[in-house]
C-alpha cells in the first residue's frame, strides 16, 4: 500500500515521478503529492483524490528541477486530507519525507518532539519520523557536513518500531536523495546519470532495467551518478544489481476499458507462460527449476502448510484439495495473519508454502518469517520476480502471469491454481500417482488455454445476465468440494468491485444457517461440475428454488441440468477435474466485472482497497 517514487538525475523529476506514480496508483489512490527541487528551492504540492488531480495541478505549475520525492497514499493514520497526504515537511522546513508502512511507536515519538518544540500539521505517523529526522539533523550540527543528513536519517530509523519504506530529501542537500526500508518494499533503479527510488519495479522500467532490491534495515544514499548502501547501524553493504526482464507494454491498458477486463482476457496466455518448459512428457510430470529441494527431500515431507491472504488464500484451498487428492500429502491452509501470531505446533517434516501475487503482502511475509524462524523449509508461489517473499524463501515457483494492475486479482489467481495443480502432479508423481494418470493430467493442462479461450466467448451472455442481477444488494455463491473455494473467490470478487454483500459457502452448509437469507431479493450463484456429487449440488439448488431464490448456475457443459430448474445458466467446456477450478473461475470473474460496470463502480480502483497490502 502507498506508492513511493524518488528521482535524482538530469531529467525533469516532476514528470518522471508523475509517470511512476501513475504506474503505482494501484498501491493506493486516496491522495498524492510530490516535492521537487525546482531551482528556487523545494516546491511542495499535494492533492486529495486520484493522481490525475496532482497531474492537473502540476500542469499549471510547470515545475522544473532534477530532484524530488513523491507518493500516492492509502490512508492508515488520519483522514483523506491534503494535510495528511505525503510528502511531509519538518517543522523547520528542511526535511521532506514520503513513507509507506506504519510507525508503531509514533505517539511516543510525537510527544517527545512536541516537548522539543516541534509542531504537527497532520494526523499521520509519518510526520513524526520526518520531524525526528529534523531533530537529529539539528543535533548533528557539530559533525561533518558531508554525512550530516545521512547520519540523521540512520539515527532516527534506529528509534522506529514498525515498518517503513521511505524517501527523504533535505533542503540543504540539493544533490542527495536518501531511501530506507524495513518491512515495506523499496527498490533502486540505476540509470545513466540518474537514479530512482520506487516501491516496485513497475514504476521504474520506463527509465532503466537495472535494479537493486533494498533489504530490511538498509539505507541507500543516492546522487545522480552514484549510490551507496549501508545498514541502519552504519555498516556498508555491497549492492547486487539485477536486470529486470520486463516488457513495459505488458502493463499498458491498450484497447481495453479496464485492466481487470484486459487481465481476464490475458488468461490463456498467462497460463501458457506458467506452463512453458515445465512438463516432462517422458515422465508425465511437471518440472520446476527453483524448488531447491531434491526428490528425496520432497518424499520426506509429510505435511504441507499453505499461508496467504485474500484471493491467494482461496488458491491455497484449491491446493489443499488437489495435493491431498493427487499426491496424498496432508495439507493445511492458514490465513497468514492468523498463523503468524498463533504459534501452531508443526511437525519437523512440514513444508511451508506462501502464495502471493505481489510477493510483498506484509501478513504473508510476516508469517513466512515466523515459519523460517522456527526452522521450517519454505517455498513461495508468486508473480513478482525479485519480490521480498521470493527472495526470502528457500525456493519457489514464479507464476509468469505478467503484471497484474487491476486491484481485483484475476489472471494471477488462475495462474496460482495452475501452479498448485502442477505441483500436485509433481508431488503425486514422486509418490503414488501412476504414469497413466500423469499423462491425462499433462494433457489436460496443455489443452487448458484453448478451453479458457472458449469460456471467454461467453462474455456477451454473461454481460446480459449481469445486467439482470446488478440491482440486488445481497448474493450467495455456493459450491461443493473444488467449487467451494471458487464460491469464496466469486463472493470476494463481487463484493470488492461492486460493493454488493456476497458470501461464499459450501453448498450443503447453506441449510445450516445461510438459507435464512434466501428470498426473491437474494440470488444465488451455484457452481456445479460433473462428477459423483453433481446430483447433491442439484438438490441444493432445489432447496433454494423452493424458497423463491433466483439461481444463476455456472456449470461444466457435461452437467445435465433439468429444464426450467435455474433462472440462468452459464456453461464452460467439459474438462479434467484438475483444471475445473480454473475454467469455472472465468465466468465468475466476468460476472463480477459486468455487475460492477452496470453499477458504475470504479472497477480497477475499488473504494478503500489497494493492490499490494504492505501494512498489517
Residues with active-site annotation: 2, 611
* Position 100 contacts ligand AGP (CB under 6 A): no
Q: Exposed, middle or buried by CB within 10 Å (0-12, 13-18, 19+), for 473?
A: exposed
Q: Could you say which of 358, 414, 585, 592 contacts ligand AGP (CB under 6 A)?
A: 358
Binding mask 317-356 toward ligand AGP (x if CB under 6 A, else -) reads ---------------------------------------x
* Position 407 contacts ligand AGP (CB under 6 A): yes
The side-by-side arrangement of strands in the sheet containing 3-8 is 42-48, 31-37, 67-73, 3-8, 195-198, 187-190, 210-213, 242-243
Q: How far is the CB of 169 from ligand AGP (least distance, A)?
A: 30
Q: How far is the CB of 603 from ligand AGP (least distance, A)?
A: 11
* Position 309 contacts ligand AGP (CB under 6 A): yes
Cell numbers standing for residue 416: 496460482
Q: How far is the CB of 610 from ligand AGP (least distance, A)?
A: 9
* Position 311 contacts ligand AGP (CB under 6 A): yes
Q: How far is the CB of 93 from ligand AGP (least distance, A)?
A: 38
Cβ atoms 271, 414 nearer than 8 A: yes
Count of residues that bind ligand AGP according to CB under 6 A: 15
Cα–Cα distance, 312 to 420 (Å, whole number):
11
Q: Could you say which of 130, 408, 488, 559 contacts ligand AGP (CB under 6 A)?
A: 408
Work out whether strand 350-356 and strand 303-308 pair parallel, antiparallel, or are unpaired: parallel
Cβ atoms 176, 220 nearer than 8 A: no
Name the closest residue to ligand AGP (Cβ).
310
For ligand AGP, give the closer residue by CB, 37 or 361. Answer: 361
For ligand AGP, give the closer residue by CB, 16 or 390. Answer: 390
| 3-class DSSP assignment, residue 445 | helix
Q: Could you say which of 179, 185, 191, 310 contacts ligand AGP (CB under 6 A)?
A: 310
Cβ atoms 84, 31 nearer than 8 A: yes
Interface stretch with ligand AGP, choices 97-105, 306-314, 441-449, 590-598 (CB under 6 A): 306-314
Query: What contacts 62, CB < 8 A, 6 or more positions away?
Result: none
* Position 590 contacts ligand AGP (CB under 6 A): no
* Position 452 contacts ligand AGP (CB under 6 A): no
* Position 366 contacts ligand AGP (CB under 6 A): no
Q: How far is the CB of 11 from ligand AGP (least distance, A)?
A: 31
For ligand AGP, give the closer residue by CB, 90 or 100. Answer: 100
Cα–Cα distance, 239 to 137 (Å, whole number):
26
- Helix ranges (DSSP H) in 140-218: 148-157
For ligand AGP, give the closer residue by CB, 155 or 493. Answer: 493
3-state helix, strand, coil in the chain (%, to 5): 40, 25, 35
Work out whether strand 177-182 and strand 218-222 pair parallel, antiparallel, or are unpaired: antiparallel
- Helix ranges (DSSP H) in 116-183: 126-139, 148-157
Q: Could you say which of 364, 378, 589, 592 contacts ligand AGP (CB under 6 A)?
A: 364
Cβ atoms 572, 450 nearer than 8 A: no
Cβ atoms 370, 568 nearer than 8 A: no
Cell numbers standing for residue 57: 495541478
Q: Could you say which of 66, 76, 124, 361 contacts ligand AGP (CB under 6 A)?
A: 361
Q: How far is the CB of 36 from ligand AGP (least distance, A)?
A: 31
Query: Can you give the binding site for ligand AGP, defined by CB under 6 A?
Result: 309-312, 356-358, 361, 364, 407-409, 496, 612-613
Amino acid at each position: 500500500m502507498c506508492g513511493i517514487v524518488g528521482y535524482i538525475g538530469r531529467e525533469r523529476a516532476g514528470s518522471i515521478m508523475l509517470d511512476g506514480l501513475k504506474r503505482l496508483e494501484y498501491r493506493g489512490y486516496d491522495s498524492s503529492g510530490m516535492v521537487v527541487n525546482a531551482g528556487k528551492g523545494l516546491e511542495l504540492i499535494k492533492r486529495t483524490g486520484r493522481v490525475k488531480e496532482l497531474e492537473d495541478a502540476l500542469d499549471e505549475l510547470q515545475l522544473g528541477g532534477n530532484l524530488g520525492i513523491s507518493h500516492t497514499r492509502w490512508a492508515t493514520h488520519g483522514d483523506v486530507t491534503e494535510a495528511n497526504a505525503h510528502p511531509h515537511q519538518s517543522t523547520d522546513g528542511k526535511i521532506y519525507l514520503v513513507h509507506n508502512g506504519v510507525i508503531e511507536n509514533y505517539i511516543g515519538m510525537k510527544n517527545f518532539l512536541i516537548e522539543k518544540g516541534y509542531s504537527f500539521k497532520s494526523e499521520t505517523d509519518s510526520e513524526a519520523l520526518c520531524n525526528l529526522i529534523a531533530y537529529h539533523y539539528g543535533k548533528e550540527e557539530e559533525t561533518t557536513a558531508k554525512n550530516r543528513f545521512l547520519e540523521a536519517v540512520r539515527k532516527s530509523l534506529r528509534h522506529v518500531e514498525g515498518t517503513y519504506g521511505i524517501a527523504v530529501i533535505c533542503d540543504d542537500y540539493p544533490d542527495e536523495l536518501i531511501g530506507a526500508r524495513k518491512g515495506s518494499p523499496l527498490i533502486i533503479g540505476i540509470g545513466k546519470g540518474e537514479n530512482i527510488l520506487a516501491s516496485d519495479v513497475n514504476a521504474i522500467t520506463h527509465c532503466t532495467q537495472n535494479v537493486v532490491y533494498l533489504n530490511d534495515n538498509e539505507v541507500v544514499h543516492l546522487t545522480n551518478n552514484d549510490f551507496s548502501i549501508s545498514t541502519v547501524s552504519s555498516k556498508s553493504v555491497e549492492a547486487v544489481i539485477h536486470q529486470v526482464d520486463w516488457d513495459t507494454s505488458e502493463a499498458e491498458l491498450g484497447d481495453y476499458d479496464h485492466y481487470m477486463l484486459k487481465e481476464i482476457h490475458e488468461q490463456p496466455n498467462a497460463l501458457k507462460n506458467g506452463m512453458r518448459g515445465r512438463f516432462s512428457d517422458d515422465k508425465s510430470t511437471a518440472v520446476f527449476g527453483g524448488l531447491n529441494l531434491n526428490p528425496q527431500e520432497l518424499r520426506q515431507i509429510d505435511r504441507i502448510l499453505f499461508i496467504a491472504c485474500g484471493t491467494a488464500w482461496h488458491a491455497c484451498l484449491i491446493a489443499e484439495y488437489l495435493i491431498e487428492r493427487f499426491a496424498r500429502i496432508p495439507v493445511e491452509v492458514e490465513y497468514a495473519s492468523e498463523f503468524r501470531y498463533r504459534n501452531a505446533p508443526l511437525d519437523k517434516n512440514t513444508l511451508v508454502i506462501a502464495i502471493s501475487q505481489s510477493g510483498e503482502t506484509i501478513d504473508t511475509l510476516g508469517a513466512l518469517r515466523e515459519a523460517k524462524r522456527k526452522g521450517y523449509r519454505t517455498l513461495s508461489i508468486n508473480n513478482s520476480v525479485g519480490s521480498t517473499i521470493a527472495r526470502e524463501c528457500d525456493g519457489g515457483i514464479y507464476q509468469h502471469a505478467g503484471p497484474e494492475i487491476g486491484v481485483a486479482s484475476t489472471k494471477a489467481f488462475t495462474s496460482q491454481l495452475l501452479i498448485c495443480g502442477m505441483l500436485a502432479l509433481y508431488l503425486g508423481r514422486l509418490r503414488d500417482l501412476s504414469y497413466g494418470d500423469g499423462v491425462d493430467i499433462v494433457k489436460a493442462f496443455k489443452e487448458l488455454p484453448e478451453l479458457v479461450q472458449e469460456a471467454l466467448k461467453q462474455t456477451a451472455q454473461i454481460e446480459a445476465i449481469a445486467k439482470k442481477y446488478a440491482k440486488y444488494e445481497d448474493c450467495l455463491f455456493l459450491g461443493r468440494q473444488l467449487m467451494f473455494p471458487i464460491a469464496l473467490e466469486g463472493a470476494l470478487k463481487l463484493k470488492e468491485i461492486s460493493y454488493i454483500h456476497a458470501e461464499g459457502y459450501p453448498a450443503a452448509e447453506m441449510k445450516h444457517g445461510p438459507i435464512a437469507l434466501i428470498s426473491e431479493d437474494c440470488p444465488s450463484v451455484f457452481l456445479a461440475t460433473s462428477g459423483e456429487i453433481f446430483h447433491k449440488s442439484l438438490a441444493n439448488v432445489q432447496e433454494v428454488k423452493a424458497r423463491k431464490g433466483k439461481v444463476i448456475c455456472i456449470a461444466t457443459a457435461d452437467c445435465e441440468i433439468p429444464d426450467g430448474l435455474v433462472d440462468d445458466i452459464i456453461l464452460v467446456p467439459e474438462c479434467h477435474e484438475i483444471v475445473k477450478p480454473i475454467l469455472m473461475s472465468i465466468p465468475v470473474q466476468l460476472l463480477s466485472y459486468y455487475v460492477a460496470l452496470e453499477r458504475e463502480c470504479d472497477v480497477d480502483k475499488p473504494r478503500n482497497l489497494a493492490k499490494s497490502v504492505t501494512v498489517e
